[in-house]
Amino acid sequence: MTADGGPELVQLLTPEGERVHHPDYDVELTPDQLRGLYRDLVLVRRVDAEATALQRQGELGLWAQCVGQEAAQVGSGRALAPGDFAFPTYREHGVAWSRGVQPLQLLGLFRGVTNGGWDPHEHNMALYTIVIGDQTLHAVGYAMGMQRDGDDSAVICYFGDGASSQGDVNEAFVFSAVYNAPVVFFCQNNQWAISEPLERQTRIPLYRRADGFGFPGVRVDGNDVLAVLAVTQAALAAAREGQGPTLIEAFTYRMGAHTTSDDPTRYRVAADLEAWKLKDPIERLKVYLARNGWAGHEWFAEIEAEAEALAVDLRRGCREMPEPEKTSMFDHVYAEPHALVDEERAQFEAYHASFVGGGH
Ligand X SMILES: Cc1ncc(C[n+]2csc(CCOP(=O)(O)OP(=O)(O)O)c2C)c(N)n1
Q: Which residues here bind other proteins, judged by CB under 8 A?
A: 61-62, 109-115, 130-133, 162-163, 165-168, 193-196, 200-201, 261-262, 266-267, 323-324, 326, 328-330, 333, 338, 340-341, 344, 348, 351, 354, 360
Least gap, CB of 115 to other proteins (angstroms): 5
Q: Which does 290 bind (CB under 5 to 8 A by kind): ligand X, other proteins, none?
A: none
Least gap, CB of 200 to ligand X (angstroms): 10
Contact 36, 70 (CB under 8 A): no
* Other residues' Cβ atoms within 10 Å of the Cβ of residue 165: 16
CB-based contacts of 50: which residues, under 8 Å, 6+ apart?
A: 310, 311, 314, 315
338 has catalytic annotation? no
d(CA 111, CA 59): 7
Least gap, CB of 203 to ligand X (angstroms): 16
Quick note: the x/- pattern for ligand X over 23-62, rule CB under 6 A, is ----------------------------------------
Please tell me which residue in 19, 56, 200, 267 is annotated as part of the active site. 267
Least gap, CB of 344 to ligand X (angstroms): 28
d(CA 36, CA 86): 21
Q: Which does 360 bind (CB under 5 to 8 A by kind): other proteins, ligand X, none?
A: other proteins
Q: Which of 55, 76, 153, 190 binds ligand X (CB under 6 A)?
A: 190
The side-by-side arrangement of strands in the sheet containing 85-87 is: 85-87, 155-160, 183-189, 246-251, 217-221
For strands 196-197 and 192-193, give the pairing. Answer: antiparallel
d(CA 180, CA 135): 18
258 has catalytic annotation? yes
User: Does the footprint of ligand X cover residue 161 (CB under 6 A)?
Assistant: yes
User: Does the footprint of ligand X cover residue 192 (CB under 6 A)?
Assistant: yes
User: Does the footprint of ligand X cover residue 193 (CB under 6 A)?
Assistant: yes
Nearer to other proteins, 149 or 325 (CB): 325
Task: For residue 23, give Cα distances in angstroms to 6, 20, 52, 112, 244.
Answer: 16, 10, 40, 47, 22
Q: Report how many helices (DSSP H) and strands (DSSP E) the chain contains, helices first.
A: 13, 7
Least gap, CB of 19 to ligand X (angstroms): 29
User: Does the footprint of ligand X cover residue 99 (CB under 6 A)?
Assistant: no
Size of the site for ligand X (CB under 6 A): 14
- State the DSSP string of 225-284: HHHHHHHHHHHHHHHHTT---EEEEEE----S-SSTT--GGGT--HHHHHHHHTT-HHHH
**Which helix (H) or strand (E) element contains residue 42?**
helix 31-56
User: Does the footprint of ligand X cover residue 93 (CB under 6 A)?
Assistant: no
Least gap, CB of 327 to other proteins (angstroms): 9
d(CA 83, CA 328): 32
Does residue 336 sit in helix, strand or coil? Answer: coil
d(CA 340, CA 345): 9
Q: Which does 192 bind (CB under 5 to 8 A by kind): ligand X, other proteins, none?
A: ligand X
Nearer to other proteins, 124 or 165 (CB): 165
Contact 66, 48 (CB under 8 A): yes
Please tell me which residue in 99, 258, 284, 288 is annotated as part of the active site. 258
Quick note: the x/- pattern for ligand X over 289-328, rule CB under 6 A, is ----------------------------------------
Nearer to ligand X, 45 or 91 (CB): 91
254 has catalytic annotation? yes
Residues that bind ligand X (CB under 6 A): 91, 130-132, 160-163, 190, 192-194, 254, 258
Give catalytic residues, as residue numbers: 254, 258, 267
